Amino acid sequence: MAGIKPRISVEYAGDATIVTFTDEKILEEKDIKALQESIMSVIEQAERINLILDFGNVRFLSSAVLGLLIRLSKRIYERDGSLKLCSINPKIYEIFKITRLTKTFDICKDVESAVEGLYRAN
């Protein structure tokens, strides 16, 4: 039986939940749906999540992923949590810049700065 490659990995650092995308390319609708289900279940498990999304492995994504991030952020803020994105490579960051989502999302250089940012805020 072919193994199903997990699309995210989840780690914890203090109050932060770090979700790392494992795929290099995030394009297909079915993959984005699967990601939404996985990450939403991580969000729902915590009372008030401080979520850090690590894009370190991501080399390519479509605008549907931006839509996913907006849906995730809405759910997180409904539950009084926080969301940071990190380790976004320059080509992907350009997509965020063009769509002005750099104004909507808190984007950090790497996981360490994202975690640091959480403690500074608290």
Partner 1 sequence: MISEAPISRSMVVESKPSAIVGVCKEILSKLENNGFSKEDIFAVHLAMEEAFLNAVKHGNKMDAAKNVKIDYSLDPDKIEISMADEGDGFEPEAVADPRWGDGLYKPEGRGLLLMNSYMDVVRFNERGNCVYMVRYKEKPRITERESQTKL
Q: Which residues bind partner 1 (CB under 8 A)?
A: 27-30, 60, 62-64, 66-68, 70-71, 74, 91, 95, 98-101, 103-104
Closest separation in Å from C-beta 25 to partner 1: 9
Kindly tell me which of 48 and 71 has the beta carbon lying closer to partner 1. Answer: 71
Per the listing, tokens 């969301």 go with 83
Kindly tell me which of 5 and 100 has the beta carbon lying closer to partner 1. Answer: 100
* Contact assessment for residue 16 and residue 52, using Cβ atoms and an 8 Å cutoff: yes
* Contact assessment for residue 105 and residue 72, using Cβ atoms and an 8 Å cutoff: no
Per the listing, tokens 């849906």 go with 71
